[in-house]
Amino acid sequence: MRGGMGNMQKMMKQMQKMQKDMQKAQESLGEEIIEGTAGGGMVTVKISGHKEVVDISINEEVVDPDDIEMLQDLVLAATNDALKKVDEMTNDTMGQFTKGMNLPGGLF
C-alpha cells in the first residue's frame, strides 16, 4: 500500500510542475507578436499570442477611396493569416506538454 501512495504523491508533484510549466508557456505566448500579411505586404496585421490585434499597417499605395472593399478584404486576409500563425505557434508550444498522453486531436 505504501508504494501506491508514494507513487500517487510523486504523480501529483509531476502534475503540479507540468501545470506551472504550462502556465509559464501560456504567459510567454502572450508576449509573442505574430505578423500576418496580405496583398504582397501591402497590409500587415500584428497579433499577440493571446489573439489580440495590436497593430494594423496599410501601405498608402493601397488606399483608393473608390475601392474600399479591396482594402477591407486585405485587412481581413492579413488578420486571418496572423491568427492562423498564432494557432500554429500555440499548438507547437503547448503540444510539448501533451506528447504521449493520447489526447483527442485538437486539444493542443
CA distance 18 to 93: 13
Q: Which fold has domain 2-97?
A: Ybab; Chain: A; (3.30.1310)
CA distance 58 to 30: 24
What pLDDT is stored for residue 3 in this prediction?
59
Instruction: Give the number of residues written for the chain.
Output: 108
The residue among 104 and 79 whose pLDDT is bigger is 79
Q: What percent of the chain clears pLDDT 70, i.e. is strictly above it?
A: 86
**Tens digit of each residue's pLDDT (9 = 90 or more) over 82-101:** 999 988 988 888 777 766 56
The answer to whether 13 touches 21, Cβ cutoff 8 Å, is: no
- Domain boundaries, given as residue ranges, for the chain: 2-97
Q: Confidence band (pLDDT; 50, 70, 90) for 108? A: very low
**Tens digit of each residue's pLDDT (9 = 90 or more) over 36-48:** 999 999 999 999 8
